[in-house]
A and B are shown apart, each in its own frame.
Chain A
Amino acid sequence: MSILAKHGAYKQAYDVLRASGVDPLNVRFDAVLSPTEGVIGGRKMILLGTNNYLGLTFDPECVERAVEATRGQGTGTTGSRVANGTYGGHKELEGAIAKFYGRKHAMVFSTGYQANLGVLSTLVGRGDHLMLDADSHASIYDGSRLGYAEVIRFRHNNPDDLYKRLRRLEGVPGDRLIVVEGIYSMLGDTAPLREIAQVKRETGAYLLVDEAHSLGVLGETGRGLAEAAGVEADVDFIVGTFSKSLGSVGGFCVSDSDDFDIMRIISRPYMFTASLPPGVMASTLGALEQLQAQPHLRHDLMRNACRLYDGLRSMGFETGPEPNPIVAVAMPDQETAVMFWKMLIEGGVYLNLALPPATPSNVRLLRSSVSAAHTTAQIDTALDVFAETGRSLGFLTSGRRRAAGAL
């Protein structure tokens, strides 16, 4: 009997999954060739599940800047900024992020997960109230447990339910912080941010938006959902990550809030982790510049996203509620989901198999994320593999595949 025997139920479920001959939680790449191509089991794949929205991971200038910074400043900082100090890259990156968002302050973290942990645990504490969308990412739930605030969930994307819960708190002391996401990572749906901002104004709460999947994706200049919805002035804190559209790793928070910098000596996930290495910061800065200099990347991305989304829907697949770079296809049960996923890989298409409890409403999803770097031919190939797989599993009743090509 091991100390880990308590996780027996998970082990059993995982064993069942692996018994079907696949291990979707532990895919091994032989090689990654480009933002859109990799090799699994000796077979070349179209990568359709990498969150590499702008396709900048192999951008020559970003790569060159990372190499240069690594040569000049070493491979790592070997400690936190509190102990080992701030490098030029940290200040430069914080300055660039703050400027990009038009905010007074910015703070960078070593991962996006830690940004949520660090910010949520510092903004609210005992006696405060944290209002979370029920479908929030794990990092938001985990961050909520680190700061001792009272945590209340509201129904996913339901401003009325949020309002009702804030109204119940009338007269109760303590700050209220509403947390929503720009694009939700499983179904690719956006938050109804205008309505949520209105609830925030009516109730005197603070509002934090996690733009992890929407930075570089939504908004006129790529700042995310708050920009797209025209409510940036209502958003007190924006949290995000460098690991998706900016192609590296790390997280950030921007705000105009007074006393922002006090977080640097309060936030434990910021203080007790090694800071970002120079090479990572250099490529991130490069990617942020590309994001601003090449707005066509966003347009290419949305064009590809719509092509995949519309193509799948026209074949009769059940997708998320709106076309975004995250395109999720619902599967009727786990067995079919696993089989479908496996056949897509055999057909040369890699995407994410998302199973409960990581998914909302216990749905089984084939979750793809589209890149600006995908060619139209790659998207069409993926659609063809979907169609063939769907047909052989008895999914698709009519062959309306051509409708996709007309878009």
Chain B
Amino acid sequence: MRQNTQLAVVGGRDAPESGAPKRDADAGQSMRNEISTIFEEVLGRPVVIEDDTDIVEDLGMDSLGVMNFVMAIEDFYDISIPLDRIAQIRTVADLIHTVDDLRKGSAA
């Protein structure tokens, strides 16, 4: 029933996952670009996002859209975002911070 986005590498168990690049000085901008692409895939239309873009209010996402979007983000960065962390995300900056945090956590 659920629609998966094409960005995701949802292969079998041994399939290589995540095309996420290494973090660098432009990491913030780079991640914003990646997230913007994922938004566009999920919403099926172009979006302009800034750090303070409100994901639900400004992009007009419903709960299903948010869930599909979160799952696409999770696939792309090879992370799982726990539900309580999702609940705390309002803006694009919050999302970047959470993804960054979880990726650091998994690299440690």
Contacts and interface: CB of A to CB of B under 8 A. Distances in A.
A360 B68 CA distance: 12
Nearest to A149: B82
Given A151-B83, A168-B80, A187 B17 contact: no
Output the residue of A161, A163, A167, A360 with the most chain B CB within 10 A. A161
Contact of A151 (B1, B2, B13, B82): B82
B12 interface: yes
B96 interface: no
Given A155-B71, A164-B13, A134 B84 contact: no
B67 interface: yes
Given A160-B10, A164-B13, A168-B106, A187 B82 contact: no
A155 B74 CA distance: 11
Interface in A130-189: 134-135, 144, 150-153, 155-156, 160-161, 163-165, 167-169, 187
Main secondary structure of the interface of A (DSSP, over half): mixed
Interface string B40-63: 000000000000000000000011
Given A144-B83, A150-B84, A168-B79, A163 B2 contact: no
Contact of B17 (A150, A151, A164, A361): A164
Interface of B: 1-4, 10-13, 17, 62-64, 67, 71, 78-80, 82-84, 106
22 contacts: A135-B1, A144-B83, A150-B82, A150-B84, A151-B82, A151-B84, A153-B83, A155-B2, A155-B4, A155-B71, A160-B11, A160-B12, A165-B80, A168-B79, A168-B80, A168-B106, A356-B64, A360-B1, A361-B2, A361-B3, A361-B64, A363-B1
